[in-house]
A and B are shown apart, each in its own frame.
Chain A
């Protein structure tokens, strides 16, 4: 992200979602809600089957963001809205682009989102504020 400019895009990150990944995220995060782990419980809750944690999808977007910044500690703000369900078998693409560069404040603002193989947005209105390379914490 040397000398970022408005319109620069971050490298898209493509991930195929599997049941194993969702289980691993449940274990690593502590979020063992049955909607993510148990097909029958998910259906009983009115879902089409198990769904990925929103936080797992956000974590993938975070990966794309920090791959671009090169250093997670540059991230000042990272926020999203969850706008769609993610199911095993979905192919997600995490994306982002620079929307503002404030050299005086030493920050870059990004718009961030995640879409699936049908072009549906599953994370919308993501916001990232990252520090320019010269201003680490």
Chain B
């Protein structure tokens, strides 16, 4: 079972910088040939998954949370933009356990990742909902 006492737990921030090449590689992998992306001038709308990836993995791997179990599935994903990130920009990424709930034999973990810029202004918020099966 997920550890509900961790609702609200904040994890240490880290920084990420995505180069134009990294953005172009992501755009190519999703088959998007728009010059805005291949030039790295803009990021594809789900590129935030790359910004959030390490933070999300850190939360899932928290031994106190009990989320690192087989059969976990990705139930939902949301990106909310306060402004649009730029390539080469150094962003600060902060994760927290936003919610843990249960319904029937399933548990729902919502991890929120806040992405902010060098001025401390919020760039985007990213929510991942993970679904786990309750132990028998």
Q: A65-B45, A72-B42, A72-B84 are in contact. Are A59 and B30 (CB under 8 A)?
A: yes
Those of A75-113 within 8 Å (CB) of chain B = 75-82
Decide if A21 touches B76 in the complex (CB within 8 Å): no
Please, how many residues of chain B have a CB less than 8 angstroms from a CB on the other chain?
Answer: 35
In the bound assembly, the distance between CA atoms of A75 and B83 in angstroms comes to: 9
Q: A21-B31, A78-B78, A81-B76 are in contact. Are A73 and B53 (CB under 8 A)?
A: no
Those of B83-136 within 8 Å (CB) of chain A = 83-84, 127, 129
Decide if B34 touches A66 in the complex (CB within 8 Å): yes
Interface 1/0s, chain B 60-87, versus A by CB < 8 A? 0000000000110111111111011000
In the bound assembly, the distance between CA atoms of A78 and B31 in angstroms comes to: 19
Interface 1/0s, chain B 39-50, versus A by CB < 8 A? 000111110011
Q: In the complex, what residues of A have CB within 8 A of residue B71's CB?
A: 45-46
Q: In the complex, what residues of B have CB within 8 A of residue A56's CB?
A: 30
Q: In the complex, what residues of A have CB within 8 A of residue B79's CB?
A: 75, 77-79
Q: For residue A45, which residue of chain B has the nearest CB?
A: B70
Decide if B49 touches A29 in the complex (CB within 8 Å): yes
Q: In the complex, what residues of B have CB within 8 A of residue A73's CB?
A: 42, 84
In the bound assembly, the distance between CA atoms of A63 and B34 in angstroms comes to: 9
Decide if A59 touches B44 in the complex (CB within 8 Å): yes
Q: Could you list 15 further interchain pairs (A-B, Cβ under 8 angstroms) beyond the known A28-B26, A29-B29?
A: A24-B29, A27-B25, A30-B53, A55-B46, A55-B49, A56-B30, A59-B32, A71-B42, A72-B44, A75-B45, A77-B78, A78-B46, A78-B79, A82-B75, A137-B84
